[in-house]
Each structure stands twice: as structure tokens, then as C-alpha cells.
């Protein structure tokens, strides 16, 4: 039995166990708080604390189920890779870091999982070793370091509180709580790639596709949302309008960017960014359980979407350009069926899993007393989601018979088996979770036109995406007349440039000046070299004394003798 199959089976077993336990804890309203004393030194005892409630158990279960399918899929995907054993252990370490972060009620143990996620994600992004991967990995880890520093500062700030167990303080508020909340939001924004830290998410696509599936569904990027859901009781004490604006703009910007993109993995990455913006928005509006509901529903169909895309890219001889694809439904019928299921669930097609979470999120947003701008951006972003999904389906599955000559179509049994469970979850998880999480029915009374508004925008977005597919180079495009604005919308509002060139261009000049003035200037001789010069003179003196000690003794003796005679 291979390592991948064994790991996949074990993770699936534990994932199902955790999910059943989570449902049981939810039904009986039970929370388990475990203290594990792992070191006692004299009177000092060091404890590791775990929090098992319905939320952490359900999330760990979902992470394990998705990871099991991804590892099982990797058995075939990474079959010919020379370093597949290293890849396997990196993925397992990644999943364990996420689990550590989920079940920790303590900011210090959260930091272990949080930092583990950042470090292992760097190792996975640079797995295919080339300059593009190195650049993407560096951008990923440096952006995530900002969030790590925010967690470190919040740990030191919690010295004011008396304990690092944040779970004790989410119901309290004091004047210093605002600093803790701001640091936690900063950490969540960097990990979940909200504006202005969005550029690392599409760059992280340099990783192998199974890793992208894991990162974008249930691990790295969802860690920030999960952290904010845990701290959400503190947000009622501050005005979250600015953070709501940033997360809405992220949702809108990602939807626009995906409509202009031709790289298959980047389109799906930007769709993840859009959904993360949706989750963050609803957390800041004040509905953390809804955000968690969408987090779980989104995890299943996004993992499936990436696994299908990985097989398509494999068959296209590793070309990710959707213009190279076309009529793949004839060659890969099962994969394309799963691709359509996950895409339709992402769009919010009625009775798929994405519909249940998106529909109630939009309805609760309408019931919250926010202005027309929030209302408009939410609905336009939902429309854009359907637009780029329709465009993706049209280009990949039915567009042109392309002239790309390096194709080798095959559907692997191992890859197909891993898609079956995720397809079922992408269809049924939304309804099951909505029945379980919201056991008491909530009556949402809205006028008819507001009630059908989500469906209306889904249809308009689908039509708009379909029209976009027929735009040729010969057409007189408004986007070509207004090239700067279309380039602005399609390049994530210039954010990759802000995060790279603009960040290090000025920094390089400053560091060059410092090198000239300090490292190669007077500072070198006065500050850096003086201890060395002093110690070298001293060592010469001691060496002279050691080599000539009899002469020195005689000389000192004669000198003292002469002085005493005088």
C-alpha cells in the first residue's frame, strides 16, 4: 500500500469521526476544554490547551476530509515526481498546522499553527524550483509575516489581561481591547489576502495543483476568517465600517480581475479571493455563524474545482491558458461534469450547496441597516461570480476546437474516485449544514423584488459572462479605447505592482544609502572595526608576553629594582 493511499484513508476516517463528534456536540450544546500538562519543572507547570466545540470539530473534520481526497488524488498527480515523498510529508505537516490553529483557545498555541502554515506554504509554493516560484514564495511568506508579527504583538499585549486564553476575554470589553481587535484584524487580513494584501494569493498558484486545492479551500486562506469568527464577539464594541468596506472591495476587485484573466488557476484563485471577501463582509456585518457556514460549503466545491482544473491542466501538457482548451467535455466527460457541479455551486444555483449559504448571507445583508453602496457592491459581486464562472465553463468545455497540439487526454481512476465524494458534498453539504446549524427556523420577511434579487443577479451575471465569450479581437472594444481603466480592473487594481516594485524600489535606494554611509563609511571604522582593532592589539601584546615571558620578567624585575634604588 502506498504512503498516499494510507494517509488518505486515515485522514478520511478521522475527518468523518470529527464531523460526527461536531454534530453531536452541537446537538447537546457541549464544549470540551482539555488541559495537557506536558512539562513540570519545580513549581512551574507548562500546559497545552485544546478547545473542542462544535465549530472547531466540524472545521477539523472538513479539513481532514478534503485533505484525504487531495492526498489520494496526489497519488496519481505526483506519480512521476522525483520528490513525491517530500511533497507528501509537507502536505501532512500543512494539515496538522491547520488543525493546531483550529483547536487552540490560546494565542501562543495558535501562533504555532499560524506560523507553521506560513512556513510550510512557502516550502510548497517553491516546490517546483524556478525563479517564478521563488518570487511567488517570497511574496507569500513576507506578506504572511506581517500577520505573524501582529499575532506576536497581540500576545505581548495580552499580558495586560492575565491569561493568553483569548476564549476567556471575547465576552469582555475594556479600553485596551480595541488594540487587540485591530491587531487580530490585521493578522486575519494578511492571511486571508484582503485589500491591501491581496497580491500574494494569485502568486501562490505556483504551487502544485493539489496544494492549491488544499490552500484555497480549507487551510491557509481560511485561517484568517476562522480567527475573526472566533473573535467576532469583540467586534460589536467597535465601528467595523472601514473593514466592511475593505472586504467588500476585495470581493468586487477579485470578481472584476477574474473576468479579465485567461490563466485557469488564477481565475479560480481570484474566485477564492472573492468568496473570502464575502465571508469577511458578513463577519463585520455581525453574522459569524453565517460566515462559518459559507466557509464550510465553499471549502468542498472549491477543492473539487481545483482537482478538476488540475486534471485538465495535466491533460493539456501543463498549459493553464483557457484559450488553449476547448470541447474538453468530449474527452473528459466525468471531470467536466464535476467541474460544472462545482462551478454551479460557486455561482449559487438553487439547491446546490453554495446557494444555501449565499442566499441567506445576501438576505441578512439586506436586513442590516447599511447603505445602498453596500447593497450594490454585494449584488454586483455575486453577478460577477456567475459571469466569470460562465466564461470559464464556455472556454474550457465548449468553445473552439483549438490548435494546441500537445494534448494527452485520460481520466485516471484514482483522480476520479477522489472527485466523487467532493461532488456529493458540493451538492448536499449546504442543505445538510443549514438544517443542522440553524435548528430553529429564522423568518426573513422581504418584499418579492428583494427576495428574487439574488436569483435575478445570478441570471444577469450568467448572460453577461456568456456575452463576454463572443468578444473577438476584430470587434471595436470599449476596453481598447479605455485601455488604462480595463488594465486597471484586470490587474487587481495594480496591487501586485504595489506589493513588489513600488515596495522595494524606494527601499533599495534607502538601503544603498545606508550601505554607503554606514557599512562602507566612517561607521565601519568607528563602530564596527574598533572592537576588532582593539582586540587585535591586545592579542598581539599577550602573544608577545607569552613568547618572551622570561625576558619580560627579567626586564620588569630590573626596572622595579632600579626604581626602588632611586
> For residues 316 and 468, what is the distance between their CA atoms, to the nearest angstrom?
24
Whether pLDDT at 203 is above 80: yes
Q: Give residue-wise pLDDT tens across range 267-294.
A: 999 999 999 999 999 999 989 999 999 9
Note the pLDDT of residue 63. Answer: 93
For residue 503, how many C-alpha atoms fall within 13 Å in the half-sphere facing its CB? Answer: 13
Domain boundaries, the chain: 1-238, 239-470, 521-565
3-state secondary structure 25-74: HHHHCCCEEEEEEEEEECCEEEEEEEEECHHHHHHHHHHHHHHHHHHHHH
- Return the C-alpha cell found at 429: 453539504
Note the pLDDT of residue 165. Answer: 87
Could you tell me the pLDDT band of residue 209, with boundaries at 50, 70 and 90?
Answer: confident
Average pLDDT of 396-412? 69
More confident call, 509 vs 390: 390
> For residues 113 and 181, what is the distance between their CA atoms, to the nearest angstrom?
20
| Cβ-based burial of 242 (10 A; exposed 0-12, middle 13-18, buried ≥19) | exposed
Whether pLDDT at 480 is above 70: no
Question: What are the DSSP calls for 444-508, one per residue?
Answer: ----HHHHSHHHHHHHHHHHHHHHHTT--TTS--HHHHTHHHHHHHHTGGGHHHHHTHHHHHHHH
Structure letter (DSSP) for residue 176: T
Among residues 128, 233, 240, the alpha carbon closest in space to that of 194 is found at: 240
Average pLDDT of 509-521? 77
Distances in whole angstroms, Cα of residue 356 to Cα of each of 27, 232, 296, 316, 437: 21, 22, 12, 34, 12
Q: What is the number of other CB atoms lying within 10 angstroms of the CB of residue 38?
A: 8
> For residues 188 and 197, what is the distance between their CA atoms, to the nearest angstrom?
11
Note the pLDDT of residue 229. Answer: 93
Whether pLDDT at 390 is above 80: yes
Paired strand residues for 51: 33
> For residues 95 and 90, what is the distance between their CA atoms, to the nearest angstrom?
9
For the chain, what is the mean pLDDT? 86
More confident call, 235 vs 487: 235
Element (H, E) at 310: helix 288-315
- pTM as predicted: 0.86
Average pLDDT of 431-438? 90
Distances in whole angstroms, Cα of residue 382 to Cα of each of 346, 359, 462: 10, 10, 10
- Return the C-alpha cell found at 206: 505556483
Q: Give residue-wise pLDDT tens across range 524-541.
A: 767 777 777 888 888 888
Whether pLDDT at 1 is above 60: yes
Note the pLDDT of residue 103. Answer: 92
Between strands 32-41 and 44-52, the pairing is antiparallel
Q: Give residue-wise pLDDT tens across range 287-345.
A: 999 999 999 999 999 999 999 998 888 888 888 888 778 778 888 889 999 999 999 99
The interaxial angle of helices 288-315 and 209-217, nearest 10 deg, is 170
Contact indicator for 337, 396 with CB cutoff of 8 Å: no
Paired strand residues for 49: 35
Question: What are the DSSP calls for 407-421, one per residue?
Answer: ------HHHHHHHHH
For residue 170, how many C-alpha atoms fall within 13 Å in the half-sphere facing its CB? Answer: 15
Could you tell me the pLDDT band of residue 405, with boundaries at 50, 70 and 90?
Answer: low
Could you tell me the pLDDT band of residue 471, with boundaries at 50, 70 and 90?
Answer: low
Amino acid at each position: 500500500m502506498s504512503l498516499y493511499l494510507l494517509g488518505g484513508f486515515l485522514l478520511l476516517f478521522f475527518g468523518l469521526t470529527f464531523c460526527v463528534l461536531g454534530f453531536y456536540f452541537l446537538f447537546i450544546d457541549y464544549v470540551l476544554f482539555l488541559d495537557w500538562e506536558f512539562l513540570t519543572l519545580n513549581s512551574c507547570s507548562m500546559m497545552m490547551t485544546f478547545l473542542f466545540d462544535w465549530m472547531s470539530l466540524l472545521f477539523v473534520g472538513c479539513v481532514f476530509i478534503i485533505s484525504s481526497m487531495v492526498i489520494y488524488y496526489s497519488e496519481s498527480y505526483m506519480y512521476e515526481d522525483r520528490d513525491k515523498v517530500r511533497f507528501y510529508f509537507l502536505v501532512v505537516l500543512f494539515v496538522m498546522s491547520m488543525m493546531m490553529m483550529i483547536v487552540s483557545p490560546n494565542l501562543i498555541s495558535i501562533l504555532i499553527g499560524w506560523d507553521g502554515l506560513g512556513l510550510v506554504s512557502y516550502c510548497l509554493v517553491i516546490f517546483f524550483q524556478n525563479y517564478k516560484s521563488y518570487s511567488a514564495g517570497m511574496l507569500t511568506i513576507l506578506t504572511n509575516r506581517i500577520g505573524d508579527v501582529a499575532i506576536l504583538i497581540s500576545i505581548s499585549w495580552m499580558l495586560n489581561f492575565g491569561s493568553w486564553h483569548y476564549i476567556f476575554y471575547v465576552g469582555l470589553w475594556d479600553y485596551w481591547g480595541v488594540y487587540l481587535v485591530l491587531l487580530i484584524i490585521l493578522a486575519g487580513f494578511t492571511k486571508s489576502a484582503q485589500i491591501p494584501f491581496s497580491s500574494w494569493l494569485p502568486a501562490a498558484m505556483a504551487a502544485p495543483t493539489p496544494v492549491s486545492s488544499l490552500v484555497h479551500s480549507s487551510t491557509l486562506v481560511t485561517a484568517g476568517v476562522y480567527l475573526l469568527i472566533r473573535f467576532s464577539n469583540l467586534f460589536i464594541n467597535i465601528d467595523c465600517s472601514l473593514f466592511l468596506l475593505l472586504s467588500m472591495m476585495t470581493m468586487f476587485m477579485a470578481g472584476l480581475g477574474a473576468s479579465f484573466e485567461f490563466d485557469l488557476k488564477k481565475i479560480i484563485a481570484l474566485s477564492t479571493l472573492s468568496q473570502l471577501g464575502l465571508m469577511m463582509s458578513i463577519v463585520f456585518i455581525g453574522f459569524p455563524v453565517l460566515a462559518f457556514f459559507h466557509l464550510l460549503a465553499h471549502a468542498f466545491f472549491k477543492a473539487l474545482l481545483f482537482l478538476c482544473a488540475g486534471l485538465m491542466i495535466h491533460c493539456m501538457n501543463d498549459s493553464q491558458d483557457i484559450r488553449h482548451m476547448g470541447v474538453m467535455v468530449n474527452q473528459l466527460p466525468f471531470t467536466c461534469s464535476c467541474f460544472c457541479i462545482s462551478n454551479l455551486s460557486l455561482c449559487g444555483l438553487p439547491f446546490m450547496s453554495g446557494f444555501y449559504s449565499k442566499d441567506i448571507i445576501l438576505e441578512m445583508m439586506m436586513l442590516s441597516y447599511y447603505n445602498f453602496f453596500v447593497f450594490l457592491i454585494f449584488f454586483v459581486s455575486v453577478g460577477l461570480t456567475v459571469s466569470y464562472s460562465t466564461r470559464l465553463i464556455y472556454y474550457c468545455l465548449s468553445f473552439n476546437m483549438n490548435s494546441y497540439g500537445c494534448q494527452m487526454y485520460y481520466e485516471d481512476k484514482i483522480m476520479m474516485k477522489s472527485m466523487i465524494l467532493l461532488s456529493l458534498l458540493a451538492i448536499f453539504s449546504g442543505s445538510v449544514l443549514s438544517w443542522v446549524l440553524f435548528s430553529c427556523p429564522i423568518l426573513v420577511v422581504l418584499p418579492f423584488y428583494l427576495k428574487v434579487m439574488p436569483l435575478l443577479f445570478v441570471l444577469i451575471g450568467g448572460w453577461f459572462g456568456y456575452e463576454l465569450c463572443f468578444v473577438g479581437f476584430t470587434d471595436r472594444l470599449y476596453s481598447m479605447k479605455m485601455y488604462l481603466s480595463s488594465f486597471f480592473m484586470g490587474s487587481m487594481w495594480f496591487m501586485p505592482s504595489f506589493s513588489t516594485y513600488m515596495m522595494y524600489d524606494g527601499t533599495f535606494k534607502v538601503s544603498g544609502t545606508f550601505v554607503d554611509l554606514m557599512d562602507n563609511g566612517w561607521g565601519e571604522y568607528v563602530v564596527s572595526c574598533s572592537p576588532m582593532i582593539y582586540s587585535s592589539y591586545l592579542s598581539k601584546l599577550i602573544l608577545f608576553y607569552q613568547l618572551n615571558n622570561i625576558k619580560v620578567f627579567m626586564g620588569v624585575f630590573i626596572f622595579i629594582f632600579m626604581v626602588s634604588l632611586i
